[in-house]
Structure 1
Amino acid sequence: MLSLSIIAWIIIGGLAGWIGSKLMGTDAQQGILLNIVVGVIGGLLGGWIFGLFGVDVESGGWIFSFITCLVGACILLFLVKLVTGRSRV
């Protein structure tokens, strides 16, 4: 059961990281492994942010988990671009 949870985190995180990188214009700089990392960290960040606003992220289901990861991935990529100063040329 635990391995299914890990596999689900990798799949949802990878998809959210990939779509987030497309939305934020950083897809050319990332590979599949970095997309997964961004998506999983984005899920943690998104869950924390939604929790601050009182949103129950634990009982939201697969689609809400994906949206949480996607929002968190976009925020993470925005912050990375802000700190590193990289912009699209």
Structure 2
Amino acid sequence: MNVQAGGHGPTLEAANGSYIQTFVKQNVVLCFGGQRFMWDFVTAKVSTPLLITDFLCANGLLVDVKNRRLFNAETFSSLPCSLSGSGTAVVLCTLHI
């Protein structure tokens, strides 16, 4: 992804109330299970990339926390994921863009 110097993207706030430095909003194509999904992602200065629920909902993707997978609700294809932190709520899929 191209990142503009200076951090002049949309304002994002972390769960702890701190602000997250962002750069640009960019349309990116992700491939899960042989299917392509387009989304306008915000490039931000974070240690771990996250998929937001808006992306999951808009693309019919379901989170299976127990089995650590994302499922396409139409095709039932899946993508293995890992759990973040304490492993209680956040499912992460490492994106290589």
Q: TM-score range by the shorter chain?
A: under 0.3
Q: TM-score, normalised to structure 2's length?
A: 0.22
Q: Which has the larger radius of gyration?
A: 2
The structure with higher relative contact order (CA 8 Å, sep 6+) is: 1
Whichever structure has more strand as a proportion of its residues is 2
Q: TM-score, normalised to structure 1's length?
A: 0.23
